Copies of this chain bind each other. A is one copy, B any other.
Amino acid sequence: MLTATELQFPSISAIPWGLPSPLATVPAADTAPFVLIGVLLSLVVVYLTSKLGGELSKRFNLPPVLGELVGGVVIGVSALHLLVFPENGAAAGDSQLMTLVQWLGHLTPEAIATIFESQSEVISVLAELGVIVLLFEIGLESDLRELGKVGYQAAVVAVVGVSAPFALGTLGLIALFHVPVIPAIFAGAALTATSIGITSKVLSELGHLKSREGQIIVGAAVIDDVLGIIVLAVVASLAKTGEVDLLNVAYLILSATGFLLGAILLGQFFNKSFESIAERLQTRGALLIPACTFALVMAILASTIHLEAILGAFAAGLVLDETDKRKELDQQVMPIADLLVPIFFVSVGAKADLSVLNPAVADNRAGLGLAAFLIAIAIVGKLVTGWAVFGQPGINRFAIGAGMIPRGEVGLVFAGIGTASGVLSKPLEAAIIVMVILTTFLAPPLLQWAFQSRENELAVEEVTPGVELVRLED
């Protein structure tokens, strides 16, 4: 190696200073390697949390996803501040991980602010890919024919599950709490949506995804998501113009129905071509890449017609479930889900700001009263859906109701839009957030309990004649 002293430098003073040396302070433009380090550190924290939380939950005989959510709360904005997001109002200095990265790289405050934004963006997208993969997997595990059989029941459960909490919540807030009409409608709307991600994950963990109850819940949650988007559009245009844009509502209903029916019809045709494509490919990922590309295209399609991306992924899974390659595909999607899905659940926990539960803050006290009411409505309004199921004697009505309870991220979207538009007062916003958090955390153990208590009951009574009757009809 040539050393500097052996060479003559013709124009050393002409070379600008500030060239990055590996150990020197790094200028803002060279943040890319630190974004990667930030993402890698976040992933390590997420995986340690998800395994610790999941395993502990399992040891206490609770669904592992509950442990992942609680673990997320522990590392998130409510406690350790290891994983925080700008959407919670956090800056780079609020993140313990970013403080570590800044120290490691001797970074300026501006550089670490850029890195924090990028790292949060990447983790958020990875979390979204996680819930997309989750719903794709749920779709692969669901049977389109079985789902079709419970279609009417699912639709009834969804409609009751949207209208009961909406009506009870809105009217209750107006009558009991004297909340003005528009904020009351907003809060009522936030009570409507069901988080399909959390419910389906718990069902899958309990081994009840393919039961009649499980299929009704999944079907109802899908329809519920579509209804929720329509409710959001109605409420948003109400708040904006004081009128409902009926054209927009009609467009949403038509496009959503068209999408779901189109996916099913397309499925019959696509199955054959998918298999022949996968068989002709000779390079690695011959089955997985076409399948995932299809799921991504469906997710994009769903997004562009203003549905949720996860509905597209679920439809893609349903379609590919019909192919002969289902089992092989299932096995290859599993490790991908194992890696991506925990990022979603831990992030949901990390973003949940439990400080709104602190009764020492005056704003919270007003909110906690509202919250108690909203939680009661949120639970009762969904539990009744189980008793709306008809023609299914012997079905576990309590489990169906419990499965519809978690509001998850969809409820937070309502709260976020309401706050951004200035419609919601601070206590009402806090109350909605508390309601979303509690229903999300309450649903997994409740659902497990609903299935277990019923199984014990059945074990005593043996199988009821009603169940036998339905089985024969199939």
Q: Which residues of A contact B (CB under 8 A)?
A: 1-5, 7-12, 15-23, 29, 32-33, 35-37, 39-41, 43-44, 47-48, 50-51, 54-55, 58, 64, 104, 118, 121-122, 124-125, 128-129, 163, 170, 180-182, 185, 229, 231-234, 236-240, 242-245, 248, 251-252, 281-285, 288-290, 292-293, 296-297, 299-300, 303-304, 306, 309, 332-339, 342, 417, 420-423
Contacts and interface: CB of A to CB of B under 8 A. Distances in A.
Contact of A128 (B36, B41, B422): B36
A417 B20 contact: yes
Contact of A36 (B16, B36, B125, B238): B125
A292 B339 contact: yes
Given A43-B296, A51-B289, A118-B121, A338 B284 contact: yes
Nearest to A170: B2
Contacts of A8: 181
A283 B335 contact: no
Contacts of A43: 293, 296
Nearest to A64: B283
A303 B185 contact: no
Given A16-B421, A37-B309, 17 more contacts: A1-B234, A10-B180, A15-B182, A15-B240, A15-B423, A18-B421, A22-B229, A37-B303, A43-B293, A51-B285, A51-B293, A118-B118, A118-B121, A285-B338, A289-B338, A292-B339, A336-B336
A420 B19 CA distance: 8
Number of copies: 2
22 contacts: A1-B163, A1-B231, A2-B170, A7-B181, A7-B185, A9-B182, A12-B182, A15-B239, A17-B240, A21-B233, A21-B245, A21-B248, A22-B306, A23-B251, A32-B124, A36-B303, A40-B303, A41-B300, A51-B293, A55-B283, A58-B283, A284-B338
Contacts of A333: 335
B292 A236 contact: no
Contact of A304 (B1, B104, B251, B423): B104
B421 A342 contact: no
